[in-house]
Amino acid sequence: METLKNLEIGKSAVISKVGGTGALRQHFLDMGMIPGVKVTMMKHAPMGDPLEIRVFNYELTLRKDEAAKIEIGYKEKLSDSNADFSDSTAEKETSTASNDLLTSHPGLGEDGKYHEKETETPLPDSTILTYALVGNQNCGKTTLFNQLTGSNQHVGNFPGVTIDRKDGVIIGHPKTLVTDLPGIYSMSPFTSEEIVSRNFVLKEKPKAILNILDASAIERSLYLTMQLLELDIPMVIALNMMDELTGNGGSININEMENLLGVPVVPISALKNEGVDELVQHAIHIAHFQEKPVPQDFCSKDEAGGAVHRAIHAVIHLIQDHAERAEIPIRFAASKIIEGDKIILNMLDLDFNEIEMLEHIVVQMEKESGLDRSAAIAKMRYSFINKICGKTVKKPHESKEHLRSEKIDKILTGKWTAIPAFILIMTTVFLLTFNVLGAFLQGLLENGIDFVTNLAA
C-alpha cells in the first residue's frame, strides 16, 4: 500500500488507513487525517523533509517518517481535488452564509438559543469570575489577552512545570481573572502544553471559557471547540481575524452559527480592537448567570454516525455515576474513553465488569461504523464541522498576501533555488555586517568612545 510520504507534489489522494500508536496517532486524527478524507501534497522542504499537505482547506506540515504512517488509496490531479470530506461522509449542505458580516445577532438576555439553560439565580456579585482563554496556536490569543487586560496582568509558571502562565484582570471589571492557556489543537494531550491546558480546564474549573477561533481556518479551529462544548462550561466564541476574512470576500452567518453551536459567537479583530467590548459583555453575562452550552447531538444521520451516537449514549448510561463522583463532564468523559483515553478511564475508576461492557460497546461501534474507535469519534466531529461550515461560511478567495507569499516561497524554498538563495542572503548579511554597515558603525562607536574618553580626561 502506498503512503502519503510518496505522494507527488500537486497530486491528491484519499486516506485509507492511519497508522502510528498512542498520542501520535490521536494527534493525526485530531488534525483531520481520517480515513476517507482527501489530502493534497503541496510542497516539500528544500532538503525533502518536512512535507506540506492540504487537508480541510488548511495546510499541515508533517515529517516524512510521520507521513509514512498514513496509507493512501488513489490519486488524481490537483484541479480535480476540490471535493472535500462532506462529499461522502457528511450531509451535503447548501451554504446560507450571509454576505453581511455585521448583521445583528442575539445580545445579552435575548431569545438566542444558547440562553435556554440560564440558571434561576446568578452568582453572587462578590464572586471572582475566572476565565480560561483557549484556542489554537497562532490564532491571536495573546493579542486578545493583551486587549482584554492591558497592563493588569502578571506572568508566572503553572504548578510543577516551566510553562509560562499569564493571568490578568479584564479592564474595567476588577472581579474577573483571565488565564491565557498555551495554544492547543485538541483536548487529547500530545505535548506538555496540551496537558497543561486540559488539566487547567478540568481541574481548576473556570467559571467560563473564552474560545478564540481563527476565522480564516474555521474547520481546524472548530475541532477544539466541539471538545470544549462537551465540558458543559459556560462559553463564548470569539471569531478572530474577521477583517481578513471579509476583506477577501468571505463571510460567516453569525446567527446561524450561534444556533448550531448553542453558545454566543462574537466576530472580532483582536489586532484592531474591534468587537472586543461586545465579547467582554457576553463573557461577563454568561459567567455571572452560568449560561451553559445548549446540548448538541454532533452525530450525523448516516450509518457510521448512528453507530457512534448509540455508543456514546450507551457509555453515558454506563459511567454516569462514576463521572459525577470524579467531577468530569459526562459527555466529555464518554467521548474520551471511547477514543481510548487512558487518563480519563483511570479517573473514572470503573470495575472489571463495567470495563468489559465498555469494550463490548466499542467493538460493536467499530463493527457498524467500519472505523476504529479513535477514527470514528474524529470523523463524527469533522462531519458536524462540515455541516456547520456548509450552512454558515462563505469561503474567501485567496488573498493577495498569500499569493505573493507563494511566489516568494517558490524561490526561497524551491528544490533547486533554496540553497543558492540561502547562501546569497547569508553572504549579503555577512558583508553588510563586517564591511559596509559594520565598518561604519564600528567607526562611529570608536569616535564616540574617544569623545567620552577625552571628556572624562
pLDDT per position as a tens digit, 218-267: 888 899 999 999 999 999 999 998 888 888 788 889 999 999 999 999 99
**For the chain, domain boundaries:** 4-84, 113-296, 303-393, 416-456
CATH 3.40.50.300 is the classification of domain 113-296:
yes
Q: Which three cell numbers stand for residue 229?
A: 462544548
3-class SS shares of the chain: helix, strand, coil, % to 5: 50, 15, 35
The strand pairing partners of 211, in sequence order, are 134, 237
Provide CATH code, domain 303-393. Answer: 1.10.287.1770
pLDDT at 33 over 70: yes
Q: What is the pLDDT of residue 22?
A: 78
208 band by pLDDT with thresholds 50, 70 and 90: very high
Q: What is the pLDDT of residue 283?
A: 93
Q: What is the pLDDT of residue 234?
A: 94
Q: What is the pLDDT of residue 452?
A: 93
pLDDT at 194 over 50: yes
Q: What is the pLDDT of residue 304?
A: 62
Q: What mean pLDDT do residues 434-442 have? A: 79
User: Pick the residue with more confidence: 169 or 98?
Assistant: 169
Q: 4-84: CATH homologous superfamily?
A: Ferrous iron transport protein A (FeoA) (2.30.30.90)
**Ramachandran class of 174: left when φ > 0, alpha when ψ lies in -120 to 50, beta otherwise:** alpha
Give just the sign of the alpha carbon dihedral 146, 149, 150, 151: negative
Q: What is the pTM of this model?
A: 0.79
pLDDT at 287 over 90: yes
Could you give the percent of the chain with pLDDT greater than 90?
27
Q: What is the pLDDT of residue 107?
A: 52
Alpha-carbon distance of 403 to 73, in angstroms, equals: 30
Q: What is the pLDDT of residue 82?
A: 39
